Amino acid sequence: MKKELEKTYNPGEIEDRLYQKWLDNKYFHAEVDETKKPYTIVIPPPNITGKLHMGHALDETLQDILIRFKKMQGYNTLWQPGTDHASIATEVKIIDALKKEGIEKEDLGREKFLERAWKWKEEYGGTIVSQLKKLGSACDWDRERFTMDEGCSKAVQKVFIDLYNKGYIYRGSRIINWCPVCQTSISDAEVEYEDQAGHFWHIKYPVVGSDEYVEIATTRPETMLGDTAVAVHPEDERYTHLVGKMLELPLCGRQIPVVADEYVDREFGTGAVKITPAHDPNDFEVGKRHNLEEINILNDDATINENGGKYEGMDRYEARKAIVKDLEEQGYLVKIKDHEHNVGTHDRCGTTIEPMIKPQWFVKMDELAKPAIEAVKNGDLKFVPERYTKTYLHWLENIRDWCISRQLWWGHRIPAYYCDECGEIVVAEEMPEVCPKCGCRHLTQDEDTLDTWFSSALWPFSTLGWPEKTPEMDYFYPTNTLVTGYDIIFFWVVRMVFSGYEHTGKCPFNTVLIHGLVRDDQGRKMSKSLGNGIDPLEVIDQYGADALRFTLVTGNAPGNDMRFYMERVEASRNFANKVWNASRFIMMNMEQAEFDHVTLDDLTSADKWILSKVNTLAKDVTDNMEKYELGIAVQKLNDFLWEEFCDWYIEMVKPRLYNDDDTTKAAALWTLNTVLTEALKLLHPYMPFITEEIYCNLTDEESIMLAKWPEFKEEWNFKEDEKAVETIKEAVRGIRNIRAEMNVSPKKKAQVYVVSESREVRDIFEQGKVFFSTLGYASEVIIQSDQTGIEEDAVSAVIPDAVIYMPFAELVDIEKEKERLTKEEKRLHGEIKRCEGMLGNERFVSKAPAAKVQEEKDKLAKYQQMLSQVEEQLARLNK
């Protein structure tokens, strides 16, 4: 059995070595084992374009903690890893690479482009996986999946065909989010809303055959080219006489009707709203209700098309300027008002998206949403924290049909085929040889691919072999806990839930653990534009993965954002050093005595105290972790190891370790070894590397990952001994506080009297005299029932049922202390005189910044308080 650790804790040396050991021994791998209960987590698949950022680091750390915890509890754990093909992000990367070679995507053609995409995936797609390994992720890498691998692709195709045959998937023209730069529809998940400074342009729409006009206000004047009505509220008396009449659409030479619709907010703007059904989702619905024409005025690149008359070919913003200029010149422009409004941009390229009506593939959501809603109402699905249930339900209860087609080549191609002759649509696994309607042999596959979220919605079961009936699917599904950020509840969590119910009849997981964002030290979101991102890999290189993980979990509460400070990483590294050095100290002393024969009866009160403490810690930490209170659990571990174990217990037992004649040395060593072993197990899920290295040197065991999770043992429950040691600790704290106030060096020993009328309290100090003497810097400990023999000037500390006394003269060299206090008195008088001089200077008080004046006032108050204390101490010494 090895009993040594390196002198200095060096995470760079141990982490890669230990991770390779875990991989070589397949500790992360899971096979179906009916004798054990399964516990499964599916990783939110990171994009193959991605690099590890702090959000990933937090997300993966939380999952890893749960997996390691459950494995030690005896569960058969599977953390299912994999990556997402990320249609838009990946295609953009490949297009950019091609442009550097002077090649356009269209010149290459679909087949050659996809060859390049797969080559790119093989070259760069594994980057984030290798980075996840640096973090210590206990994923079953033997089961790694990719959203476009053969199995996942088969699942995607089956789901599309099944939903189409059930009437849930249809092709139709509806408003979608369109990115003019990426030239594809995008999902709501890929639209980021930001407040932008803009304007309200107020425009006159003349009433045909009248001198009247209707004034409308718009933030996008260029869209008036596609207006097909103006809507007013049916009860708005200002406009009721105009309902049904025609308006002249300025600049366009068309006439449009005034319609009455309750969608209009009478109090907002002018109370009259221009309706552009082809370019606004709300206007689209109004248009359907009133059977209005839908006029698309934009090309795919956001230039004005042939429906824009003289503005055809102009960029949308160029057209806006020209239209406003023409409106002003022709007398239609009433006024322009500044207006800040929410603008949707594509999260990939930052382009302002255009709502456009286009023929696309959609999923009907009404029926699919029902079981997903019922899941949280009947308790099959729980959110932690519970408040996110409302967010989930609100989105599901107001859900729109889902646009699933994308105008991209990288992705799952839609399995729909069009007859070149009659236009019949056939949805099938393979292209039909003949059209079932007209017999034509010429069919063409749909050019579009599916939204990335379509495949990731199947992730919890497609990764386990579905649609095949695999042993893994039967055993590991439904999964247990999904860990994800609050920003994708709608887009991913919701879709997995309704997909799980629709295709497997079960909720894909029973708990969703929601975490917040990792923000910078000023509370700002980390972003490229702000340049405030912190690379987790750089933190790992400098401080180690354990320190990063510990930092991310400390103070972390489910659903709440956290601020990331490098000082906190240093504190985590210091904690790791503390544990390392304490472990090294214990191992260096272990050969001093045999302790295998020690029983609980051999333990001292101090030994029983720390054993009872670690016993309670196991119970509390387990309880917190079961409730997903991982931040609370880790704080308890930190407090126990740093304070109770290192700062108190190790210091308590040192006199016993250094005294060869002490008959309790073996008990002390047994306790040190036992408590450290238990604490390392509890700490392991949070700091896997350092705990593995220490544990495998401390014990004969192969890995801490295979160790049994500590459980509360009634025979280790020593409440009376806990109470006894806490009494002594309180006395020690009192002594230390007095000595600190009097600036007494720890090297200076003094007599300590413990006075108590209680036999029980006196016995406590008698039994703990050895370590109390050491911790209380005592030259001698005298325990008695009254104050006999204690000098009048002795200083005292009061604790429950006892008073601790120390002779004043033993603590302080009175003459030297008088000399020191006299010098301090003189210095403080000088400081007070200087402050009073500045504050009495009218010029300074009137011209200096208020903060500076206040600073001087605060200094004066502080110096006056300090002088009062010094004078009090001097008077006491001069008695």
* Distance set, CA 221 to CA 205, 217, 383 (Å): 13, 9, 44
- Please name every residue paired with 335 in a beta bridge, in sequence order, or none if there are none: 202
Alpha carbon distance 481, 635 (integer Å): 23
What phi-psi label fits residue 748: left (phi over 0), alpha (psi between -120 and 50 degrees) or beta?
Answer: beta
- Strands, sheet with 778-784, edge to edge from the N-terminal-most edge strand: 778-784, 750-755, 802-806, 795-799
Other CB atoms within 10 Å distance of the CB of residue 193: 10
- Please name every residue paired with 194 in a beta bridge, in sequence order, or none if there are none: 343
Q: How far is CA 602 from the centre of its chain?
A: 47
* 719 assigned binding-site residue: no
Alpha carbon distance 514, 832 (integer Å): 55
- Amino acid 390 reads K
Alpha carbon distance 104, 229 (integer Å): 41
The residue written with tokens 């009133």 in the block is 290
Other CB atoms within 10 Å distance of the CB of residue 222: 26
The pair of three-digit structure tokens given for residue 626, joined into one six-digit string: 């079961």
Q: Which of 57, 60, 51 is nearest to 539 (CA)?
A: 57
Alpha-carbon dihedral 302, 294, 272, 178, rounded to 10 degrees = -30
Alpha carbon distance 495, 455 (integer Å): 10
Give the DSSP H/E element, type plus range, for residue 654: helix 651-657
Q: Which of 710, 807, 697 is nearest to 18 (CA)?
A: 697
Q: Which of 38, 26, 22, 32 is nearest to 479 (CA)?
A: 38
Rg (CA), the chain: 37
Q: Which of 615, 651, 648, 620 is nearest to 636 (CA)?
A: 620
Helices 719-741 and 759-767 cross at an angle (nearest 10°) of 80
Q: Which of 139, 136, 140, 127 is nearest to 11 (CA)?
A: 136
Strands 562-563 and 518-519: parallel
Alpha carbon distance 231, 283 (integer Å): 9
Q: Which of 594, 600, 598, 690 is nearest to 637 (CA)?
A: 690
Q: At a CB cut-off of 8 Å and minimum separation 6, what does 87 contact?
A: 406, 408, 410, 411, 449, 451, 452
Q: Which of 52, 56, 60, 65 is nearest to 632 (CA)?
A: 65
Q: Which of 353, 323, 195 is nearest to 251 (CA)?
A: 323
Other CB atoms within 10 Å distance of the CB of residue 734: 20
Give the annotated binding-site residues. Answer: 528
Give the annotated binding-site residues for ATP. Answer: 528
